[in-house]
Structure 1
Amino acid sequence: MRSVRICLLIPQSGAAGLWAPSAEACGRLAVDEINRIYGILRRPVELRIVNAGETGASAGRAARDAIEIDGVDGIVGMLPSFARDFVARASRGRVPFIYTPQFEGRSTPDVLATGETAEELLAPAIQWLSESRHARRYFLCGNDYVWPRSSLQIARALIGRFGGTVTGEYYLPVGQHDFDEMLDRIKVTHSDVVLPYFLGGDCIAFNRAFCAAGLSSRVLRFSSAIDETVAYGLDVDETENLYATSSYYASIRSRNNGAFLERYHMAFGDSPPPVNAFGESCYEGIYSLAALIEEAASLDARKLTRLYGRTFQQRTARGDQAQSVVGSRHPIYLAKVDGYDFSIITRR
């Protein structure tokens, strides 16, 4: 009886490449745990780490090769939204595709998206900024592709709902770090808050430029695109007035997260890749695929995709939970970034 082959499809270079080490570590941890307990359909699980590359086309080619050459039974993808449809087309009708990171909230029916949506992440934070920090003027900026644009369109509506106004909006292509004009616009608008939605390495570059421009002491920054890996790319003083929101932080105090972190460090030592929501989503994605296959008692893609959106038992870093529906699965945490620590402010 052959093993169940899972493709973990992640960018290993480019702006999103900084999450690759933690994504791979979390994926390997999930597979090791599954194999120690029961496997999938009583078969051992084999994990194939596949480089998605830096474009949608490269991700689609990598997915197709994983199916046709490596013979994988399912794809778990932690990759930017601009690559999602390419992978969906390659996998459609052939293998299930689990898409794990936070996303703008729209996907095709043949994708099982397990991450939180932009509205779930943005709404409690914008409400808190409005009520607790009396923020009224917001500047929106980010990379020029579907996730930032769609997320900030949702932010615009939420800002209006809570009595605020949008003072400006500016986008740059992925990989471009010429922020001078954008920062000049932020200065002249006298904004209370900037919402930067940049991808990975671009997010680090923006926040460095923002602080170098002398804005961090007088303008708040808030984004769900900022996590531990991004924070470690900044100097301590570059996190002044920086807020973030996520469904997962390594700093969450709970018995389940404590047990997850203990297993993670036992597997990868005292200095592993930093645990973060993007990497941890791969751990959940592999358990989601395993639960999907067990529920269907089959590797047939047609039977598996019929179960998308159903509720079944799934393991996460926060404990076993009966869940699979997009969103409304985990609490959302608003945190203040204090150096390299994420201090939880609210939980919704």
Structure 2
Amino acid sequence: MRSVRICLLIPQSGAAGLWAPSAEACGRLAVDEINAMSGVLRRPVELHVVNAGETGPSAGWAARDAIDIDRVDGIVGMLPSFARDFVARAARGRVPFIYTPQFEGRSSTLDVMATGETAEELLSPAIQWLSETRRARRYFLCGNDYVWPRSSLQIARRLIARFGGTVTGEYYLPVGQHDFDEVLDRIKATRSDVVLPYFLGSDCIAFNRAFCAAGLSSRTLRFSSAIDETVAYGLNADETENLYAASSYYGSIRSRNNGAFLERYHTAYGDSPPPVNAFGESCYEGIYSLASLIEEAASLDARKLTRLYGRTFQRRTARGDLAQSVVGGRHPIYLAQLDGYDFSIIARR
């Protein structure tokens, strides 16, 4: 009886490539734990880490090769939204596809099981907190020019209006372009209270560096759910002034389950592993979600597995052992202020 083969599909270069080390580390930890508990369907699990590349088509080609050549039984993908449907088309009807990162919340017509938080879930408590606690009224929106930033910031517009604020401007740049002079000039001219930068990975680091170099950090707040530990480590400590974030996971969350997860993570990888973050941890959850699907269906048949999308059954997470649902039971959202390199939790919604 052969092993159960899982493809972990992640970009290993480009703007999103900075998350690859933590994604792979969390994925391998999940597989090691599953194998220590007798595997899936009493078979050992074999992890194939596959480079999705930097574009949607490259991710689709990588998924097809994983299915046709590596003969994987399922795909767990931590990818930008512009690559999601390319992978879904490659996987549809052949293997299940678990999509793990936070995303804009648009439902796809293709067979995708999304386990990450939506923009609505992340933005709503944050904008309410900024409005009520920091009295923010004037918001400037900016980010990369693709579906996740544009759709997320469209949701932000509606929430800002609901809480009595106004949008002072909106600006988008292609992925990989780091000429921020015009957008920073517009932010200065509008005298905004808050900037919502939705840039991807290394682009997010570049924007925040430029923002601080322009002298804006002392008088303008920044908030984004696109900022995590990996992005923070790309900044100087003084470049985190007035920087806020929202996520369902931070390594700094104090809980029994997260403490146990971090202990297992550091036992596996030592004192200086890739930083734990929401994007990497989502791969840990994604692999457990796929394993739970297979166990529930008692089959590797993609048709049987995809019929279970949305059904309630148990899966393991770093935030709470055995969450109630693969897609329906949502995690709490944590608002945090970045203090140097530490995410200090300021609210839980």
Cα distance in structure 2, aligned partners of 1:295 and 1:320: 14
Q: Where do 1:86-101 residues align within 5 Å?
A: 86-101=86-101
User: In the TM superposition, what whole-angstrom CA distance separates every residue of 1:29-65 from its partner, at most 9, and x where no partner exists?
Assistant: 0000000012000000000000000000000000000
Cα distance in structure 2, aligned partners of 1:293 and 1:152: 36
1:15 counterpart letter in structure 2: A
Do residues 116 (structure 1) and 117 (structure 2) align?
yes
Cα distance in structure 1, aligned partners of 2:314 and 2:327: 11
Match of 2:325 among 323, 326, 330: 323
1:6 counterpart letter in structure 2: I
Matched residue, 1:135: 136
Matched residue, 1:298: 299
Cα deviation, residue 310, structure 1: 0.7
Identity score, percent: 88
Cα deviation, residue 107, structure 1: 3.0
Matched residue, 2:14: 14
Cα distance in structure 2, aligned partners of 1:325 and 1:33: 22
Where does the alignment leave 5 or more consecutive residues of structure 2 unmatched?
none
Do residues 154 (structure 1) and 155 (structure 2) align?
yes
Cα distance in structure 2, aligned partners of 1:324 and 1:34: 17
Moved over 6 A (4+): none
Cα distance in structure 1, aligned partners of 2:166 and 2:51: 41
1:66 counterpart letter in structure 2: A
Cα distance in structure 2, aligned partners of 1:311 and 1:170: 40
TM-score using structure 2 length: 0.99
| Secondary structure, counterpart of 1:153 in structure 2 | helix
Cα distance in structure 2, aligned partners of 1:82 and 1:38: 36
Do residues 236 (structure 1) and 271 (structure 2) align?
no
| Secondary structure, counterpart of 1:256 in structure 2 | helix
User: In the TM superposition, what whole-angstrom CA distance separates every residue of 1:137-175 from its partner, at most 9, and x where no partner exists?
Assistant: 000000000000000000000000000000000000000
Matched residue, 2:174: 173
| Secondary structure, counterpart of 2:346 in structure 1 | strand
| Secondary structure, counterpart of 1:320 in structure 2 | coil
Cα distance in structure 1, aligned partners of 2:106 and 2:115: 12
| Secondary structure, counterpart of 1:40 in structure 2 | coil
Cα deviation, residue 99, structure 1: 0.1
User: In the TM superposition, what whole-angstrom CA distance separates every residue of 1:238-282 from its partner, at most 9, and x where no partner exists?
Assistant: 000000000000000000000000000000000000000000000
Matched residue, 2:57: 57
Cα distance in structure 2, aligned partners of 1:173 and 1:26: 29
Cα distance in structure 2, aligned partners of 1:85 and 1:268: 33
Cα deviation, residue 332, structure 1: 0.1
Cα distance in structure 2, aligned partners of 1:106 and 1:61: 23
Cα deviation, residue 324, structure 1: 1.3
Cα distance in structure 2, aligned partners of 1:321 and 1:94: 27
Cα distance in structure 1, aligned partners of 2:303 and 2:3: 20
Matched pairs, number: 347
Cα distance in structure 1, aligned partners of 2:196 and 2:292: 36
Matched residue, 1:283: 284
Aligned alpha-carbon RMSD (Å):
0.6
Cα distance in structure 2, aligned partners of 1:267 and 1:311: 31
Q: Is the Cα contact below 8 Å between 1:107 and 1:113 reproduced in 2?
A: no
User: In the TM superposition, what whole-angstrom CA distance separates every residue of 1:172-200 from its partner, at most 9, and x where no partner exists?
Assistant: 00000000000000000010000000000
Matched residue, 1:73: 73
Matched residue, 1:247: 248
Matched residue, 1:335: 336
TM-score using structure 1 length: 0.99
Matched residue, 1:216: 217
Cα distance in structure 1, aligned partners of 2:53 and 2:100: 17
2:145 counterpart letter in structure 1: D
Cα deviation, residue 106, structure 1: 1.2
Cα distance in structure 2, aligned partners of 1:272 and 1:247: 21
2:18 counterpart letter in structure 1: L
Cα distance in structure 2, aligned partners of 1:335 and 1:194: 16
Cα deviation, residue 220, structure 1: 0.1
Cα distance in structure 2, aligned partners of 1:157 and 1:329: 22
